[in-house]
């Protein structure tokens, strides 16, 4: 009984931005299938009366005052940058696709 197929594994790899080779996809399908099989046992548990537990703390969100603390010096902020140019982090060109095509393409947002 397969709970997950290679096709879906590839879709998830795209969502998670993980390049997986053929053997990796096969291995991952097998592993995830086994794990999902195991965790499926949870579905039999009757949780109708339970409140979801998102946090292990019983208190509410603390608030902080709107005060400014010194920023990192530009060089410190960029010291770990794998590619740097002047005061910027450098990445390969971002092109929002103008023809709407490409399922595997970077689906970005212009804020």
Partner 1 sequence: MSVMTTEKLPAGLAKYEVVIGLEVHAQLSTKSKIFSWSSAAFGAEPNASTDPVCLGMPGTLPVLNQEAVQAAVRLGLAVGSHIRPRCRFARKHYFYPDLPKGFQISQFDEPICEGGTVRFRVRGEPRAVRLVRIHMEEDAGKNVHATDGVSFVDYNRAGVPLCEIVSEPDVRSAEDAAEYVRALRTLVRYLGICDGNMEEGSMRCDANVSLRLRGETKFGTKTEMKNMNSFKNVRDAIEHEVRRQAALLDRGERVIQESRLWDATRGLSVAMRSKEQAHDYRYFPEPDLPPLALSEDYVAKAKASLPELPEDRYERYTGPSGLTPQDAGVLVAERDIADYFDATVKAGAAPKKAANWVINEVLARVDDARRLAEASLPVPAAALAELIALVEAGTLSGKLGKDVFLRMWNERRRAGDIVAAEGLAQVSDSGSIEEVCRKVIAASPGELERYRAGEKKLLGFFVGAVMKETGGKANPKGANEILRRLLDQGE
Partner 2 sequence: MKAEVKSFDARGATIGSIADAVRARKIKAREVTEAFLDRVEKVGPALGAYLLVTAASARKRADEIDQALAAGQTVGPLAGVPLALKDIFVTKGIETTCASKILRGFVPPFESTPSERLAAAGSVMLGKLNMDEFAMGSSTENSSRGLVRNPWSLAHVPGGSSGGSAAAVAASLCAGSLGTDTGGSIRQPASLCGIVGMKPTYGRVSRYGVIAFASSLDHPGPFGRTVDDVAALLEVIAGQDPRDATSVPAPVGRYRDAARAGREGLAGLRIGVPAEYFGAGMDPEVEAGVRAGIDELARAGATVVPLSLPHTKYAIATYYLVCTAEAASNLARYDGVKYGYRTPEARSLEELYTRTRGEGFGLEPKRRIMLGTYVLRSGYYDAYYGQALKARRKVADDFAAAFAKCDAIVTPTSPIPAFKFGEKTADPLQMYLADVMTVAANLAGVPALSQCCGFTKAGLPIGLQVIGPPLGEEMVLRVAGAYESRTKWHELLPPDHTTAPLPGTATAQALGGAA
Residues that bind partner 2 (CB under 8 A): 4, 9, 12-20, 24, 28, 31-32, 34-36, 38-39, 41-43, 45, 47, 50-59, 61-62, 64, 72, 76-77, 79-83, 89, 91-94, 104-106
Spatial CA neighbour of 6 closest among 34, 39, 32: 32
Residue 74 interacting partner from partner 1, partner 2, none (CB closer than 5 to 8 Å by kind) = partner 1
> Please, what is the minimum distance in Å from the beta carbon of residue 60 to partner 1?
4
Distance, in Å, from the CA atom of 110 to the CA atom of 66, rounded to the nearest integer, reads 27
Distance, in Å, from the CA atom of 10 to the CA atom of 16, rounded to the nearest integer, reads 10
């Amino acid at each position: 009984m397969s709970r997950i197929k290679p096709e879906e594994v590839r879709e998830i790899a795209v969502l998670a931005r993980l390049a997986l080779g053929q053997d990796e996809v096969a291995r991952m399908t097998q592993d995830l299938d086994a794990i999902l099989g195991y965790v499926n046992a949870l579905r039999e548990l009757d949780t109708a009366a339970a409140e979801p537990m998102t946090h292990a703390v019983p208190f509410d969100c603390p608030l902080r005052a709107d005060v400014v603390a010194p920023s990192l010096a530009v060089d410190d902020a960029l010291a770990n940058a794998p590619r740097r140019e002047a005061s910027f982090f450098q990445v390969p060109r971002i092109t929002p696709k103008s023809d709407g095509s490409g399922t595997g393409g970077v689906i970005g947002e212009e804020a």
